[in-house]
Homo-oligomer: A and B are copies of this chain.
Amino acid sequence: MKRDFSLGEIAAYLDAELHGEPDLRVRALNTLQDAQAGELAFLANEKYVAHLGESRAEAVILSQKHAVVLMSGATVKNYKGALLIVANPYLGYAKISAWFDRSPQPSAGIHPTAIIDATANVGENVSIAANAVIDADVVIGAGSTIGAGCFIGARSVIGQGAHISANVSIYHDVRIGRNSRIHSGSVIGADGFGFAPNGAGGWQKIHQIGGVQIGDNVEVGACTTIDRGALGDTCIGNGVILDNHVQIAHNVVLGDNSAMAAYSAIAGSSTVGRNCIFAGDAAVVGHLTLCDGVTITARSLVTKSITEPGSYSSGTPLMPTREWRKNAVRMSHLDDLAGRVKSLEKDKG
């Protein structure tokens, strides 16, 4: 992989105004605090402005607003490096991060130990790593990468340019869109959790005969599960980003560009809109509908449908355990307490 880049080519890619020498080269991306000579940094958060003065970065990506402060010399007069002025420095950092990614390139072609069914359809420029197992009638889109030890079940389709990391399990009848990425340990298309009481105290399995549809440009973290539908498919929109340990149950519909942090979950048959954000461990119980643009804060549990965009929360604040014990006892008697207050008000009246 090419390992250094000129400020000129970076400025062109980021549509940045460059104050500095275009032929100067940077070999790594780093934080303002840690960047050394020859490294590129960025300033995206007001609270790091003070670090700019001491930064040794060769160049920094920043906004016009901060560049003005810098050039005025007011607080950060010591910074001597080049400036790459962009409208949105955090987005600029995100975009240029790909250039400095040292991830090993997957080997071209199909490893001799990969087991690929004769009926599978493998596109051009596909990399399939050692010990991957590809079942009947699978379609692997051009330019995609299948990691070591992956299993892909019959009739599943992997979109062009998709990247499946090692040891991912994809069941049958799963469709994964273009340029989507799935991290190790994740399981797509396992059976939804569907059982009917059998009338004798036990459970009758409901066979899960739907599939899974995952859109384009989706990212799925590690050890995340997306279950197949009971009847019809579980559907993940385009541009969705899922962190590690996420659970998407059967027949969930999740709208485009929604984001779910670690452990967040949507239970069976719930529909969540576009551009929703779930902080860590936020969860939605089954059979609900959430409109577009809903944010759920960390560890909150959604037990009713939401029709208004906005931020929603549940939970209690952290306290020293000794204080928490006293308060928690009161939580168990809150209805009684409210009744007593009402009674006092009545007496007063």
Residues of A in contact with B (beta carbons under 8 Å apart): 29-31, 34, 88, 90-91, 93-95, 97-98, 100-104, 111, 113, 115, 129-131, 133, 135-136, 147-149, 151, 153-155, 165-167, 169, 171-173, 181, 183-187, 190-191, 193-199, 201-209, 217, 219, 221-223, 225, 227, 230-232, 239, 241, 243-245, 247, 249, 256-257, 259, 261-263, 265, 267, 274-275, 279-281, 283, 285, 295, 297-304, 310-335, 337-338, 340-341, 344-345, 347-348
Chain B nearest CB from A96 CB (Å) reads 9
CA distance in complex: A15, B227 (Å): 31
| Nearest chain B residue, comparing its CB with the CB of A274 | B201
Contact call A317/B329, Cβ cutoff below 8 A: yes
Supposing A187-B184, A222-B225 touch, asked if A88 and B199 sit within 8 A by C-beta, the answer is yes
| Nearest chain B residue, comparing its CB with the CB of A302 | B318
Supposing A209-B97, A232-B34, A280-B267 touch, asked if A312 and B320 sit within 8 A by C-beta, the answer is yes
Contact call A280/B257, Cβ cutoff below 8 A: no
User: Which of B274, B335, B347 has a CB less than 8 Å from the CB of A330?
Assistant: B335
Contact call B328/A315, Cβ cutoff below 8 A: yes
User: Which of B29, B148, B154, B316 has a CB less than 8 Å from the CB of A328?
Assistant: B316
Residues on B with beta carbons closer than 8 Å to the beta carbon of A303: 298, 317-318
Chain B nearest CB from A315 CB (Å) reads 6
4 nearest CB pairs, A to B? A169-B184, A151-B166, A94-B196, A313-B324
Contact call B190/A165, Cβ cutoff below 8 A: yes
Contact call A91/B195, Cβ cutoff below 8 A: no
Contact call A133/B98, Cβ cutoff below 8 A: no
